[in-house]
Amino acid sequence: MRPSPSLVSGKLIIGTALARSNGTGAPAVLTHHPCHRTIISIAVKNEYSIAIVGGGIIGLSIAFTAVEPGSKVAIIDPAPGRGTTWVAAGMLAPVTEAYYGEEPELDLSLAAAARWPSFAEALEHESGCRIGYRQVGTMVVAADNDDRTFIKELYDFQANMGLDVQWLNPSEARELVPQLAPSTRGGLLARGDYQVDPRLVADALVKVAGDRTYDIIRASATSVEPVTTGDHSIKLDSGEYIKAEKVVLCTGAWTSQVPGIPEYISTAIRPVKGEIVRVSAPEPSRLPSHTVRAIAKGHSVYMVPRLDGTLVIGATMEEKGFDTSVRSGAVYELLRDAREILPVAGELSFDEAIAGLRPATPDNGPLIGYIDGIGAVGTSSADSGSGAGAGHGRPGTGKSLIVAAGHYRNGVLLAPITAEAVKALLLGDVGNIPPEVLPFSPARFADTGLTIQTGYSRNREPV
Ligand SMILES: Cc1cc2nc3c(=O)[nH]c(=O)nc-3n(C[C@H](O)[C@H](O)[C@H](O)COP(=O)(O)OP(=O)(O)OC[C@H]3O[C@@H](n4cnc5c(N)ncnc54)[C@H](O)[C@@H]3O)c2cc1C
């Protein structure tokens, strides 16, 4: 069910919360049932210690990891967990997402993947919900000899970087995944590229936020302004205002649309559309045991098998602004290429085709750090410099407004490490920011004049 804002006694009631835990203090039984969201009304309080604007996987993970239970927290989002997070395939793939010239991103992704086991365990424990974290590896296979040449070059690059990859000849590949088409030309295996179900993660995170009595305010923020006391005033589309001592902006691809943020932030993040298809098997055993990525006659495609029998097939990549319509040809092409590699993909029930907006940046890395402009509080020498803890050195730089956005194709993978970094930022403890996050300060876009890459020559995600 999709909750909607309502008015009670003249006051806007826009909260959601979830079925409460059993109250015994014992870990809840792991089952899907308590993870379904039920709506209760929460009056908007006027003042919070922390306001998280944007409740996708990034904002919700920050609420889970970076905030002490008991804090007065507001998560502001008209549809928490239903942004790009709801569309994502959930691959946790530092190795098969490693590309030439993106070494800082690789370091960040490896550090993020290393945090997933404890993040998943803590989230399942506190929420009592399964989140579909599966430690099964990822294979990248070729449909023909040209595709194989491309994958071999990728393998050489990854192996030279010291990454955990193994070359598979065709029969070795089919031994691991018997569902592969007999014509498949082999490829590589990345044993440590796992997966999670982002929808289950989002629901579990919302449940925890409700259990901790954080206010989930179902509204859009239409402005974030500093006020003289040092707090921020957030205007909601309902017309109401709330105040917060610290604000974390986690608005994904929509970050440029939040009025008032510095131009160097809003111009750095742009939406890149991705379409994805979900099909399902009545018996999950019909699906491959591993995530299968492939080049099929020059087209990249991936297939992510879930424990419930769903096979997620993705994904396109297009610069179409904020358009989230699904192009019929995209669905056809994704299914065609999936079937070329895994013939069973053509035999399953069609469940869904959906498009989402990746929050892309000029260098494909996220923006995690303090921002200035509207956070004109707490100027300090620690604000200058180039790390993620830095503003960009202009007078008025503050430490009470933080951005965590622009996670592009890897926001699910990067959620735990982003939340850890934001925890340090909220505490003003920049020495505790994971070192792999430091290159991703928003300050890098302040004066660089980096141009935005647009107009992809391909219309698919690379393998
Ligand atoms: C097809 C596809 C496949 C993908 N597959 C993967 C994958 O396999 N692995 C991976 O790691 N990543 C993947 N991604 C990328 C991943 O989905 C994103 O990087 C991630 O969702 C970003 O999380 P987020 O919380 O920043 O953004 P979102 O999930 O989009 O959340 C942003 C939230 O902000 C809210 N919001 C926006 N404006 C406002 C406002 N003014 N006020 C209040 N709230 C606001 C929105 O409602 C939304 O809920 C994929 C993306 C796509 C499109």
Q: How far is the CA of 405 from the centre of ligand 1 (A)?
A: 9
Q: How far is the CA of 345 from the centre of ligand 1 (A)?
A: 26
What one-character-per-residue DSSP string does 357-414 give? EEEE-TTS--EEEE--SS------GGGSSSSTT---S-TT--SSEEEEE--GGGHHHH
pTM: 0.88
Taking alpha carbons only, the member of 284, 295, 299, 290 closest to residue 348 is 284
What confidence score (pLDDT) does residue 1 get? 32
User: Atom 22 (ligand 1): residue with closest C-alpha?
Assistant: 411
What confidence score (pLDDT) does residue 44 get? 63
Mutate to test the pocket of ligand 1, among 57, 58, 84, 327 (most ligand atoms within 8 A of CB): 84
Q: How far is the CA of 179 from the centre of ligand 1 (A)?
A: 31
Q: What pairing do the DSSP bridges indicate for beta strands 232-236 and 241-249?
A: antiparallel
Q: How far is the CA of 55 from the centre of ligand 1 (A)?
A: 9
The two structure tokens encoding residue 90: 């959930």
138-191+270-359 fold: D-Amino Acid Oxidase; Chain A, domain 2 (3.30.9)
Contact assessment for residue 406 and residue 257, using Cβ atoms and an 8 Å cutoff: no
Mutate to test the pocket of ligand 1, among 52, 85, 110 (most ligand atoms within 8 A of CB): 85
The domain segmentation of the chain, as residue ranges, is 1-132+195-269+361-451, 138-191+270-359
Contact assessment for residue 443 and residue 266, using Cβ atoms and an 8 Å cutoff: no
Dihedral, CA atoms, 62, 67, 71, 73, nearest 10 degrees?
A: -10
What whole-number distance in Å separates Cα of residue 340 and Cα of residue 335? Answer: 9
Is the CB of 84 inside a 6 Å radius of any atom of ligand 1?
yes
User: Atom 21 (ligand 1): residue with closest C-alpha?
Assistant: 85
What whole-number distance in Å separates Cα of residue 253 and Cα of residue 18? Answer: 27
Q: How far is the CA of 85 from the centre of ligand 1 (A)?
A: 4
User: Residue 172, by phi and psi: left (phi above 0), alpha (psi -120 to 50) or beta?
Assistant: alpha
Q: How far is the CA of 118 from the centre of ligand 1 (A)?
A: 22
What are the φ and ψ backbone dihedral angles of 137, each rounded to 5 degrees? -80, 180
Is the CB of 57 inside a 6 Å radius of any atom of ligand 1?
yes
If you search the block for the tokens 């300050």, which residue do you land on? 443
User: Atom 16 (ligand 1): residue with closest C-alpha?
Assistant: 411
Q: How far is the CA of 124 from the centre of ligand 1 (A)?
A: 21
Using CA atoms, how far residue 266 sits from 139, 253, 403, in Å, is 37, 10, 11
What one-character-per-residue DSSP string does 136-200 give? --EEEEESSHHHHHHHHHHHHHHHHTT--EEEE-HHHHHHH-TTS-TT---EEEETT-EE--HHH
3-state secondary structure of 421: helix
Atom of ligand 1 nearest to the CA of 359: 19
User: Atom 45 (ligand 1): residue with closest C-alpha?
Assistant: 54
User: Atom 25 (ligand 1): residue with closest C-alpha?
Assistant: 56
What whole-number distance in Å separates Cα of residue 8 and Cα of residue 439? Answer: 47
Is the CB of 221 inside a 6 Å radius of any atom of ligand 1?
yes
The two structure tokens encoding residue 25: 């203090």
Q: Which CATH architecture has domain 1-132+195-269+361-451?
A: 3-Layer(bba) Sandwich (3.50)
Mutate to test the pocket of ligand 1, among 119, 217, 235, 251 (most ligand atoms within 8 A of CB): 251
- pLDDT of the chain, 463 residues: tens digit per residue: 333 332 222 223 233 333 223 332 322 223 334 676 544 435 567 899 999 999 999 999 999 999 887 789 999 999 999 999 999 999 999 999 987 778 889 999 999 999 999 999 999 999 999 999 999 999 999 999 999 999 999 999 999 999 999 999 999 999 999 999 999 999 999 999 999 999 999 999 999 999 998 999 999 999 988 776 668 889 999 889 999 999 999 999 999 999 878 889 999 999 999 999 999 999 999 999 999 999 999 999 999 999 999 999 999 999 999 999 999 999 999 999 999 999 999 999 999 999 999 999 999 999 999 986 433 332 333 333 445 555 443 333 467 899 999 999 999 999 999 999 999 999 999 999 999 999 999 989 986 544 444 333 346 566 6
Q: How far is the CA of 225 from the centre of ligand 1 (A)?
A: 24
Is the CB of 202 inside a 6 Å radius of any atom of ligand 1?
no
What confidence score (pLDDT) does residue 461 get? 67
Atom of ligand 1 nearest to the CA of 315: 1
Q: How far is the CA of 327 from the centre of ligand 1 (A)?
A: 20
